[in-house]
């Protein structure tokens, strides 16, 4: 039986070519369009994630992957509803995976990530969430067919903190990151081996993870955060960026300023999207005229995807 299968595979390669055959393999192992729950183990611990596969999967091609990390006190289901990324994934043709953090009890409905200096049960238990992200990429690839040159990570709050950490420690896996309302500690040192494109999205009135750094007045963790400016200065150094940046400003009651440092090593860039008056949240549709910033659509997800789509590993 194995011999017959091998002969059929070789025949298919001869007829359609190696590249097309690989695409057929991606489709053959695909979940198919829709939502799927996966369970996997990391360091002996059970981990969970929701994987949303777009209609584009029917093409048989390996697709980009966006990993979306929920905030502290949330879970994978919350992030799926809150971010609205499923709609964006269907629009542009990428897979989105929502992993679950660590909490009390089997289902961990109130969960956190270990971003090194924060937060909750994940930090207390010393959970290796960077290893979780690495394993998740392989798991989704095995089940849905991922373009490994186009893997991206975003996340909010505690998820944004982990996003920064993942970018530094998995630069051989990740092409770009987009932390939302996230930070790292003042003592954090990024040791990325390869350039990683970074888009930091942050509201100037964030009272949990302050835009200018420090301890947030509404923060339960009471950690001392680095400022957005210092986070991005670190990344410009890591990515070897030039000092010049172009600024685009949207026109709305909450203007958003989009600053991009594009002259970086390996085609990477570092960008800041500052939402003036914005709080500790995933930016809303009426916070700014997002079309002016991405040229694609009318919400923050369009801006994030526009940024991601310009970068490959």
* Domain assignment of residue 303, yes or no: yes
* Domain assignment of residue 164, yes or no: yes
Domain count for the chain = 1
Q: Quote the pLDDT of residue 3.
A: 47
Low-confidence stretches of the chain (pLDDT beneath 50)? 1-13, 15-16, 19-27
Q: Quote the pLDDT of residue 246.
A: 80
* Domain assignment of residue 1, yes or no: no
For 109-153, write each residue's pLDDT tens digit: 899 999 999 999 999 999 999 999 999 999 999 999 999 999 999
Q: Quote the pLDDT of residue 106.
A: 62
Residue 255's domain is classified under what CATH number?
Answer: 3.40.50.1820
Residue corresponding to tokens 């949330």: 74
Q: Quote the pLDDT of residue 1.
A: 45
> How far is 154 from 160, CA to CA, in rounded Å?
7
* Domain assignment of residue 250, yes or no: yes
* Domain assignment of residue 149, yes or no: yes
Which DSSP helix (H) or strand (E) runs through 301? helix 300-309
For 35-71, write each residue's pLDDT tens digit: 999 999 999 999 999 999 999 988 889 999 999 999 9
Q: Which residues contact 105 (CB under 8 A, 6 or more apart)?
A: none
Side-chain-side CA neighbours of 135 within 13 Å: the count stands at: 18
* Domain assignment of residue 25, yes or no: no
Copy the structure tokens of residue 105: 């009890």
Q: Domain of 207?
A: 30-309
* Domain assignment of residue 10, yes or no: no
Tell me if the pTM is above 0.75.
yes
* Domain assignment of residue 267, yes or no: yes
* Alpha-carbon distance values, 299 to 75, 132, 141, 256 (Å): 23, 29, 28, 12
């Amino acid at each position: 039986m194995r011999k017959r299968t091998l002969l059929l595979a070789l025949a298919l390669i001869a007829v359609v070519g190696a590249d097309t055959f690989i695409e057929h393999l991606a489709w053959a192992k695909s979940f198919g369009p829709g939502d799927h729950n996966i369970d996997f183990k990391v360091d002996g611990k059970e981990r969970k994630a929701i994987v949303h596969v777009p209609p584009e999967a029917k093409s048989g091609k390996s697709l980009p992957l966006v990993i979306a990390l929920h905030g502290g006190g949330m879970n994978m289901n919350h992030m799926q509803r809150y971010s609205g990324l499923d709609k964006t994934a269907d629009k542009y043709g990428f897979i989105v995976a929502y992993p679950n953090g660590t909490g009390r009890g089997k289902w961990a409905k109130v969960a956190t990530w270990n971003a090194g200096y924060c937060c909750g049960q994940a930090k207390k238990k010393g959970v290796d969430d960077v290893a979780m992200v690495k394993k998740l990429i392989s798991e989704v690839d095995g089940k849905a067919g991922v373009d490994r040159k186009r893997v991206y990570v975003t996340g909010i709050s505690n998820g944004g903190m982990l996003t920064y950490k993942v970018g530094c420690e998995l630069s051989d896996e990740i092409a770009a990151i987009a932390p939302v309302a996230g930070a790292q500690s003042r003592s954090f040192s990024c040791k990325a081996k390869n350039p990683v494109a970074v888009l930091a999205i942050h509201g100037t009135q964030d009272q949990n993870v302050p835009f200018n750094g420090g301890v947030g007045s509404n923060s339960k963790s009471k950690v001392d955060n680095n400022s957005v400016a210092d986070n991005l200065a670190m990344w410009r150094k890591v990515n070897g960026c030039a000092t010049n940046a172009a600024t685009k400003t949207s026109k709305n009651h909450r203007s958003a300023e989009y600053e991009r440092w594009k002259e970086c090593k390996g085609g990477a860039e570092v960008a800041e999207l500052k939402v003036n008056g914005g709080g500790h949240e995933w930016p809303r549709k009426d916070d700014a005229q997002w079309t002016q910033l991405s040229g694609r659509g009318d919400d923050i997800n369009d801006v994030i995807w526009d940024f991601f789509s310009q970068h490959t590993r």
